[in-house]
A and B are shown apart, each in its own frame.
Chain A
Amino acid sequence: MEKMSRVTTALGGSTLTGRTMHCHLDAPANAISVCRDAAQVVVAGRSIFKIYAIEEEQFVEKLNLRVGRKPSLNLSCADVVWHQMDENLLATAATNGVVVTWNLGRPSRNKQDQLFTEHKRTVNKVCFHPTEAHVLLSGSQDGFMKCFDLRRKDSVSTFSGQSESVRDVQFSIRDYFTFASTFENGNVQLWDIRRPDRCERMFTAHNGPVFCCDWHPEDRGWLATGGRDKMVKVWDMTTHRAKEVHCVQTIASVARVKWRPECRHHLATCSMMVDHNIYVWDVRRPFVPAAMFEEHRDVTTGIAWRHPHDPSFLLSGSKDSTLCQHLFRDASQPVERANPEGLCYGLFGDLAFAAKESLVATESGRKPYTGDRRHPIFFKRKLDPAEPFSGLASSALSVFEMEPGSSSMSWFVDTAERYALAGRPLAELCDHNAKVARELGRNQVAQTWTMLRIIYCSPGLVSTTNLNHSVGKGSSCGLPLMNSFNLKDMAPGLGSETRLDRSKGDARSDTVLLDSSATLITNEDNEETEGSDVPADYLLGDVEGEDDELYLLDPEHAHSEEPEYVLPQEAFPLRHEIVDTPPGPEHLQDKADSPHVSGNEADAASLVPVDSSFSLISVSHALYDSRLPPDFFSALVCDMLRFYAEQGDVQMAVSVLIVLGERVRKDIDEQTQEHWYTSYIDLLQRFCLWNVSNQVVKLSTSRAISCLNQASTTLHVNCSHCKRPMSSRGWVCDRCHHCASMCAVCHHVVKGLFVWCQGCSHGGHLQHIMKWLEGSSHCPAGCGHLCEYS
């Protein structure tokens, strides 16, 4: 602590200034290192070795250390390091295995001081002792680390990494005798410089080579390592076993890692391949880099913080032959571009939603999410108070749970399973389906089926009584139909019809209203409007009489609601402006040709039920005889189908499409049909209704859909003997030359249809098995299983 404050003041005395800048080098750089005065930087590479002065506005070349006529491999540097105590002392590691020291204080042009040629392979790293003037450490590809005393000609000690190549060596900043080394096989070793015989500690840090490591400048035990496995890990070495305290996943192998001065949790990384940027990470926030420097056009090979106590200047050298100074305030911050909102459904229909904190804070005051009738089960905030970017990008996470039961799709499954789609006359299909829908309490759908039947089945087929019956049914269903409109619009969830019976009373007079107006429209007979009161009343009465079983209607309740009901609004909430200012029913009837009528005309979709009641009404109005041809309705039916599809009930759309077949298909374009089919099939498959889904595929007339069952019809089989897939023929295995499928009856190979019992897995030729099971109920293989053939 003492030391820190002292240096900070020293820094304060000579404040660093500068800007983001770069200068072009003559050749790619392999490594850089900064002088302790923070005013000079050395750049080393295969064919470059220069010292640059860092000035306010630019880099200025101060010294070229590559002297001599012939280029020597000793100058082909893999690494360079500048002594942090002595500004005249540098060391380089050459690719040919030589370690060279340089003394800038030498008067001659050639500053080369000493040459150590003890390594047999490329030296990957050199490192000066942080406080000792003469101690230099090197790590090489040949698997040895050597410690040199610069006052002597040879190494003082050699540390063996058991023939694994050494990628990095670093003296601990706090422990005088300790250094860490990293290896190509993923290990990290800790050595005591006094004990070259064996390492103090060894652990596997990464999968694949560990390219770099760096001791934390303040935290005694923290060591950051970066590897080819694209990870940066921070280890706590103070404990008995090295413990991984942080882990950052990057997008490319990590070539260098350097702790950021004065920022306890920050470190800078650059990568060896593919990715050219330099990232500064907050290790506590391992998913988004805190800052990113994007200046380089090729991989960054060396990074260094300019001053050990100034967090804002970063220097870097790159393969693109540039040397850069980056200013932290100029860095791009990916956090700013991060999308703080996210939405996801859980397995059981739960919804998780993350949004910017500020957004959630204001809105939660208004309780916005209770609007959709689901309640947040928990509301979690996971924010670190010390988080430096909390203002920038912090999201609050809310999770919403479905109300129990509301997500139930059992009606869908039941409907899918029970609907009849083909194989019977249209009238029967419609009746059947209407019955199914009614039993499931889906009266609007039931009503629709009934209407379809009326529209498309020739009158001769429908007996008068039947018709009357259906008229009654139809009208009775008309009311809840309206209701379900309301409901669906309020909460477009599926299966909401069941809940909506309560507003039935309201709907009643609506129906009257609609009926009358609809009659008006379709007949274009203004006279009728006046008289429509009567049938409407009749209908109402009818409804009340017949509906008791279907709807648990409480007439009093209905009446009590009546005064405040705003029916038209509910009936056409989405598209009908006309109903925004609902007039009273009487009022409406008075001005039958008011503008909203034409509005209704324009949007026929929502009028489908009305039309049906029109036809129902027409029974009593002698319209029955002059039946309109089914073609007349096809546009309306199509609109109806679209309406259902838009409401999310694609099941209805597809079912009707199949049942009606040719009658409507031509009116709906292929693409829409295909879209409906695929959605429905997808839904069915999600509910594991494979049979239904296949039936739908089979019945579909769309080519693209019926193709579905023709794709990937191959059945892959594995050999029963060696369990390998049989690639060429189904009956004999290429590998073990065993015949895989033998007939249990005739003991010959089955080359065609093979039928087998799912209970005991014995089987054989279809014919043989059939014959066998006629006479016996036991398995022909004699396993004792009671096989069944169905």
Chain B
Amino acid sequence: MNRGSSSPSAAANYLLCTNCRKVLRKDKRIRVSQPLTRGPSAFIPEKEVVQANTVDERTNFLVEEYSTSGRLDNITQVMSLHTQYLESFLRSQFYMLRMDGPLPLPHRHYIAIMAAARHQCSYLINMHVDEFLKTGGIAEWLNGLEYVPQRLKNLNEINKLLAHRPWLITKEHIQKLVKTGENNWSLPELVHAVVLLAHYHALASFVFGSGINPERDPEISNGFRLISVNNFCVCDLANDNNIENASLTGSNFGIVDSLSELEALMERMKRLQEEREDEEASQEEMTTRFEKEKKESLFVVSGDTFHSFPHSGCSLLSLDFEDDMIITSDVSRYIEDPGFGYEDFARRGEEHLPTFRAQDYTWENHGFSLVNRLYSDIGHLLDEKFRMVYNLTYNTMATHEDVDTTMLRRALFNYVHCMFGIRYDDYDYGEVNQLLERSLKVYIKTVTCYPERTTKRMYDSYWRQFKHSEKVHVNLLLMEARMQAELLYALRAITRHLT
């Protein structure tokens, strides 16, 4: 019965990417069909995921144990391609949502909503609106930020910065929040909130990066339920090439045969490993390589049409698009200053914030201790999750087996951190250039910095030989790397506030 009520509106629920809009405007005759893909993900064929699922008893057990909604949602289904990881993910998520913690349950979900709203991730918003109400949240809050207590509203600033430019967080921001007063946050509460924010920003990246579909039979339990929105443009889903996308069909994909592409990557990895022994780059060279990588990440998306709309996420709203108005405003009521978005770390030449030296504030040494001190046990869970994702490997690459993928994983992880301005002294950023092809870089940058702009085209365009589960693995790495980067910046600010 639910199905019936949701499908008629579904056609109106589809966002259109700006590219398509242009095309649509040019040629009004194109009928927007409704290519609703089945299965948990719009990017991954249903059978890939389902196959894995039916076999897996373990996943079901985990869902029983740790899921807050009690159902096998699409995120879990896609993640269950990596059961080992799924366990640490669900455990930490369950802990921060349901177990002992300084914040009341409805607040936790509201913070999750606020975090997801920064990326217009309606999937997560819907999910947590339900949970929010279920845990006894005040329905009025769902009308938007004006209706919530000032205390929660104060989180806005840090939410915004964490989501888009975490390097701007200073101890002054922390001080402002914890300063004694009517609406002050205690440090444990703040740490809990920060962990939640970082978690849901990162999870939004995963949702968009893996093209998670809206839940198919949403349980309509309340009148406040938002219309579920799929943020993928029709053109991505249809995957027909009649809409041109100049930026993406650029340089080096589509031309090279995908098979040789894989071979080339393997070759490069091997070469890098050997190279290490004989040739050593000078220190200056290393520094410039980092800078170069940082700078280059600037241009990675700049060829994209999106860049003509600097604040695309919300300028969508202001565009005179009749159908979408309601949907987007549903999301935007949870955020303030919607125009604030990712800005390249490297670009701000004038202010020149110093690079974050990873060795000076590491998760293992510093972040963990602080988090665990203020919000007990979450440190262990996050630590386990980070370790898990970093060390997860099946020693395979596409069709090849027995491959040491450490290098590749490290490159992905460090590249994400590089975009957030975190530099590892002991890493040669030249490797990133060698290992990550341009289309992959585009994908990484989009998923971590503007996840809401991810398209199926981007997802499909890199590593075409690789299995979907491997691409999900990539997404997990990106998600965790992003979460860690946000946490590091926030925790460093808290540490500075404490000293």
Query: Taking beta carbons and an 8 Å cutoff, which residues of A are in contact with B?
Result: 46, 70, 72-74, 76, 78, 94-97, 117, 119-122, 141, 165, 184, 208-209, 211, 228, 252-253, 255, 272-274, 276, 297-299, 722, 724, 727-728, 734-736
Q: Which of B41-49, B231-239, B360-368, B435-443 contacts its partner? A: B360-368
* Residue in contact with B495 in the complex, picked from A273, A724, A736, CB distance below 8 Å: A273
Bound together, the chains give a CA A728 to CA B222 distance in angstroms of: 11
Contact between chains at B383 and A76 (CB < 8 Å):
no
Kindly list chain A residues whose C-beta atoms are within 8 Å of the C-beta of B135: 727
Sample of 23 A–B contacts (CB below 8 Å): A46-B359, A46-B360, A70-B284, A72-B284, A95-B359, A95-B426, A97-B426, A120-B276, A122-B425, A165-B364, A184-B364, A253-B369, A272-B365, A272-B366, A273-B366, A274-B498, A298-B499, A722-B64, A727-B135, A728-B134, A734-B69, A734-B134, A736-B70
Q: Do the beta carbons of B366 and A121 come within 8 Å of each other? A: no
Known: A95-B359, A117-B280, A209-B364. A73 touches B286 (CB 8 A): yes
**Minimal Cβ-Cβ distance residue in B for A735:** B70
Q: Which chain A positions have C-beta within 8 A of B221? A: 728
Residue in A76, A297, A724, A728 whose beta carbon sits within 8 Å of that of B425 in the complex: A76
Contact in complex: A724, B134 (CB < 8 Å): no
Whether B286 lies near A272 (C-beta < 8 A) is: no
> How many angstroms between the C-alpha atoms of A299 and B499 in the bound complex?
8
Chain B interface mostly: helix
Tell me the smallest distance from the CB of B251 to a CB of chain A, in Å. Answer: 31
Given A78-B359, A274-B498, A735-B70, residue A121 in contact with residue B426 (CB < 8 A):
yes
Shortest C-beta distance, B424 to chain A (Å), equals: 8
Is B283 in contact with chain A by the CB < 8 A criterion?
yes
Q: B58 CB to closest chain A CB, in angstroms?
A: 18
B467 sits at the interface (CB 8 A): no
Chain B: which residue is nearest A78 at the CB level? B359
Whether, in the assembled complex, B469 has its beta carbon less than 8 Å from a beta carbon of chain A, the answer is no
Task: Confirm or deny: B6 has a beta carbon within 8 angstroms of a beta carbon on chain A.
Answer: no
Which of A46, A117, A165, A228 touches B357 (beta carbons < 8 Å)?
A: A46
Q: How far is the CA of A223 from the CA of B219 in the complex (A)?
A: 60
Interface status of B19 (Cβ within 8 A of chain A): no
List the B side residues contacting A252 at CB < 8 Å.
Answer: 369, 373
In the complex, are the beta carbons of B498 and A96 less than 8 A apart? no
Contact assessment for A208 and B373 in the assembled complex, using a CB-CB cutoff below 8 Å: no
Give bound CA distance, A184 to B370, whole Å: 17
B287 within 8 A of A: yes
Cα of A274 to Cα of B491 in the assembled complex, Å: 12
Contact partners of A735 in chain B: CB under 8 A: 70-71
Beyond A122-B425, A297-B499, whether A727 also contacts B369 by CB under 8 A is no
Whether A120 lies near B369 (C-beta < 8 A) is no
Asked if residues B426 and A120 are in contact (CB atoms below 8 Å), the reply is yes
9 shortest interchain CB distances as A-B pairs: A735-B70, A95-B425, A273-B369, A72-B283, A96-B425, A95-B359, A97-B426, A121-B426, A122-B426
Task: Give A252 to B373 CA distance when docked, in angstroms.
Answer: 8
Q: Tell me which of A73, A119, A211, A297 contacts B283 (CB under 8 A).
A: A73
Closest chain-B Cβ to A167's Cβ sits at a distance in Å of 9
Asked whether, in the complex, the Cβ of B359 is within 8 Å of the Cβ of A74, the reply is no
Residues on A with beta carbons closer than 8 Å to the beta carbon of B280 = 117
Measured as residues with beta carbon below 8 angstroms from the partner, the interface class of chain B is 20 to 34
B: residues with CB less than 8 A from A are 64, 69-71, 134-135, 221, 276, 280, 283-284, 286-287, 357, 359-360, 364-366, 368-370, 373, 380, 383, 425-426, 495, 498-499
Taking CB atoms, residues of chain A closer than 8 Å to B365 are 209, 211, 228, 253, 255, 272-273
Does A141 lie within 8 Å of B373, measured CB to CB? no
Assess whether B284 is in contact with A228, with CB atoms less than 8 Å apart: no
Which residues on B sit within 8 Å (CB–CB) of A255? 365
Interchain CA distance A74-B287 in the complex, whole Å: 12
Nearest-Cβ distance from residue B494 to partner chain A, whole angstroms: 10
Q: How far is the CA of A259 from the CA of B135 in the complex (A)?
A: 53
Task: Evaluate whether A96 and B373 lie within 8 angstroms (CB atoms) in the complex, with A120-B426, A297-B499 already known.
Answer: no
- Complex Cα spacing A73 to B281, Å: 12
Contact A73 B70 (CB under 8 A): no
Residues of A within 8 A of B284 (CB): 70, 72
Question: How far apart sit A315 and B373, CA to CA, in the bound complex (Å)?
Answer: 28
Cβ of B366: which chain A residues have Cβ within 8 Å of it? 272-273
17 other A-B residue contacts (CB within 8 Å) besides A253-B369, A274-B495: A46-B357, A73-B425, A95-B426, A96-B286, A96-B425, A120-B426, A122-B425, A184-B364, A211-B365, A228-B364, A228-B369, A252-B373, A273-B370, A728-B134, A734-B69, A734-B70, A735-B70
How far, in whole Å, are A736 and B63 apart by their CA atoms in the complex? 12
A547: min CB distance to chain B, Å: 61
Residues of A within 8 A of B370 (CB): 273-274
Q: Which residues of B are found within 8 Å of A78, using beta-carbon distances?
A: 359
Closest Cβ–Cβ distance, residue A722 to chain B (whole Å) = 8
Complex Cα gap A95–B360 (Å): 10
Q: Verify B283–A272 contact, CB threshold 8 A.
A: no
> Which B residues lie within 8 Å of A728 (CB)?
134, 221
Which of A117, A119, A165, A727 counts the most B-chain CB atoms under 10 A from its CB?
A727
Whether the Cβ atoms of B369 and A70 lie closer than 8 Å is no
Whether the pair B383, A208 counts as a contact (CB closer than 8 A) is yes
Give bound CA distance, A724 to B68, whole Å: 11
Which residue of chain A has its CB nearest to the CB of B425?
Answer: A95
Select from chain A the residue with minimum beta-carbon distance to B222. A728
- Closest beta carbon of chain A to B423's beta carbon, Å: 10
Q: Do B425 and A208 touch across chains, with their CB atoms under 8 A apart?
A: no
Complex Cα distance, B498 from A252, in Å, reads 14
Determine the chain B residues whose CB is within 8 A of the CB of A276 once the complex forms.
499
Q: Which residues of A contact B373 (CB under 8 A)?
A: 252, 273-274
Closest chain A residue, CB of each to CB of B369: A273
Alpha-carbon gap, A722 to B70, bound state (A): 11
Contact A73 B287, beta carbon cutoff 8 Å: yes
**Cβ contact within 8 Å between A727 and B499:** no
Q: Which residues of B contact A274 (CB under 8 A)?
A: 369-370, 373, 495, 498
Residues of A within 8 A of B426 (CB): 95-97, 119-122, 141
Q: Is the CB of A727 within 8 A of B134?
A: yes
Chain B residues lying within 8 Å of A736, measured Cβ to Cβ, are 70
Interface centre among B221, B286, B357, B368 (most CB of A within 10 A): B368
In the complex with contacts A78-B359, A97-B426, A274-B373, A208-B283 CB distance below 8 A: no
Residues of A within 8 A of B498 (CB): 274
CB pair B359–A122 under 8 Å, yes or no, is yes
Interchain nearest-CB distance for B189 vs A (Å): 18
A545 to B135, CA, bound (A): 71
Q: How far is the CA of A253 from the CA of B284 in the complex (A)?
A: 35
CA distance A220 to B320 in the complex (A): 80
Enumerate chain A residues within 8 angstroms of B286, measured Cβ to Cβ: 73, 96
Q: Give min CB distance, A368 to chain B, whole Å.
A: 43
Give, as a whole number of angstroms, the nearest-CB distance from A97 to chain B: 5
Which B residue's beta carbon lies closest to that of A71? B283
Instruction: Chain A residues near B425: list those with CB within 8 A.
Output: 73, 76, 94-97, 122
Neighbouring A residues of B287 by C-beta, 8 Å: 73
A94 to B359, CA, bound (A): 10
Cα(A724)–Cα(B368), bound, Å: 32
Alpha-carbon separation in the docked complex, A255 to B369 (Å): 11
**Chain B residues closer than 8 Å to A119, beta-carbon distance:** 426
Q: Are the C-beta atoms of A724 and B70 separated by less than 8 Å?
A: yes
Give A255 to B359 CA distance when docked, in angstroms. 15
Shortest CB-to-CB span from A364 to chain B, Å, is 43
Closest B residue to A94 by CB, please name it: B425
Task: Give the nearest-CB partner of A76 in chain B.
Answer: B425
**Whole-angstrom CA separation of A78 from B359 in the bound complex:** 9
**Complexed CA–CA distance, A571 and B86 (Å):** 76
- In the bound assembly, the distance between CA atoms of A1 and B382 in angstroms comes to 50
Partner of A272 from the list B64, B276, B369 (CB cut-off 8 Å) is B369
Contacts of B368 in A (CB 8 A): 208, 228
Report Cα–Cα, A607/B122, bound state, in Å.
Answer: 76
The residue of chain B having its C-beta at the shortest distance from the C-beta of A209 within the complex is B364
CA distance A722 to B71 in the complex (A): 13
Question: Given the complex, which residues of B lie within 8 Å of A209, measured CB to CB?
Answer: 364-365
Please report the C-alpha to C-alpha distance between residue A246 and residue B271 in the assembled complex, in whole angstroms. 50
